[in-house]
Amino acid sequence: MNQDVRIYPDLNTLSGAVAKGIADVIETAGKGTKKVAVALAGGNTPRTTYRLLASQYGRKLPWHNTEFFWSDERYVPHDHPASNYRMARETLFSGIEIPEENIHPMPTHFPDPEQAAWSYEEELRRFYPGAWPRFDLLLLGMGTDGHVASLFPASDALEEKVRWLAASAAPSEPRQRLSLTLPALNHASIIYVLIAGAEKARTVANVLAAPPTNGKLPAVLLQPREGQLIWWLDSTAAGQLSSGRTAESCPH
C-alpha cells in the first residue's frame, strides 16, 4: 500500500514543513468565500508547528475564513496547563488576528464529559449538516502506544461507529478526555500525523508495517475514506523504518 511518509532531520525542520503544508491547505481551500475547517492536535509535538504557523504565515492567510476545531481535549478547564485549547491559544491564536467566533474549543465545563461530547457534536453538526464532519485538514499526533487523538488501544471509544465525539479514558493524567471518533477522523479530507522522538520509532515502524485490519494500534485504523493521509516524521521517529522503505525523505 502506498503510504505518504515524509521524514525531516529534526523537530524544527519537520515543524517548518508541516506549517507550510497547513498554510497551503488554508490558502487553497479558503479561496473565495468557502470556510476552511481545521481540527487541531493536542499534546507537545505540534507546539513548534503552531508557533511557526503564527510567526511565518500570520499575516498571509485568510484567518477570517478559517474555523478551528480540535481532534481531542483533556477534560480540564481551558486555563489548565494540560489543556490542548490553552496550548493552541498560547502558540497559535495569540499570534494571529482571527475572529473569536472562528475558534471552537471542546467544552470542558459540563459535570459529565458525556454531556460535553454531545454538546460538541451538536456544535459540529451546525457546521457540518451532513452525515459526517469533513475537515479540510485534521492534525493528529501519536502516542507510544499507537493512540491517536484520545482513542486509546482496546478502548470503547475506539469502537464507536455512530457518534462523532466520544468521552474516553486515558491511561495517564488527565484521564478524562474528549475525542473525535474514528469515523469522524476518517472522513477528513486531509489527515496529517505529526510524530517526533526516538521513543516512538518502534511504534511508527509497527504502525506503518501493520496490516490495515490490525486494530491493536489505533493509528493503523487511520484510513481516510476519500482523503489523504500524510505521516510527518522527524528522523528519530523514523529511526526503525526498514532501510528499503520508500519513505520520501525531505532534507529541508
- Residue 72 touching ligand 6PG (CB under 6 A): yes
Indicate which single residue of 9, 16, 43, 224 sits in contact with ligand 6PG (rule: CB under 6 A): 43
Measured in whole angstroms, the distance separating CA 204 from the mean position of its chain's CA atoms is: 16
Please, which residue, 148 or 158, has the CB nearer to ligand 6PG?
148
Which three-class secondary structure string do you get for the chain? Answer: CCCEEEEECCHHHHHHHHHHHHHHHHHHHCCCCCCEEEEECCCCCHHHHHHHHHHHHCCCCCHHHEEEEECEEECCCCCCCCCHHHHHHHHCHHHCCCCHHHECCCCCCCCCHHHHHHHHHHHHHHHCCCCCCCCCEEEECCCCCCCECCECCCCHHHHCCCCCEEEEECCCCCCEEEEECHHHHHCCCEEEEEECCHHHHHHHHHHHHCCCCCCCCHHHHCCCCCCEEEEEEECCCCCCCCCCCCCEECCC
Q: Which stretch binds ligand 6PG (CB under 6 A): 43-51, 61-69, 95-103, 217-225?
A: 43-51
Nearest approach, Cβ of residue 177 and ligand 6PG (Å): 7
Indicate which single residue of 4, 24, 28, 44 sits in contact with ligand 6PG (rule: CB under 6 A): 44
- Residue 234 touching ligand 6PG (CB under 6 A): no
Indicate which single residue of 41, 52, 190, 208 sits in contact with ligand 6PG (rule: CB under 6 A): 41
Which 106-165 residues touch ligand 6PG, going by CB under 6 A?
A: 141-143, 147-150
> Cell numbers at residue 42, please?
493536542
Indicate which single residue of 15, 45, 66, 155 sits in contact with ligand 6PG (rule: CB under 6 A): 45
Indicate which single residue of 84, 168, 176, 236 sits in contact with ligand 6PG (rule: CB under 6 A): 84
- Residue 42 touching ligand 6PG (CB under 6 A): yes
Strand-pair partners of 40: 70
Please, which residue, 35 or 205, has the CB nearer to ligand 6PG?
205
Please, which residue, 107 or 141, has the CB nearer to ligand 6PG?
141
Q: How many residues bind ligand 6PG (CB under 6 A)?
A: 15
Q: Which stretch binds ligand 6PG (CB under 6 A): 1-9, 41-49, 130-138, 212-220?
A: 41-49
Q: By the criterion CB under 6 A, which residues form the site for ligand 6PG? A: 41-45, 72, 74, 84, 141-143, 147-150
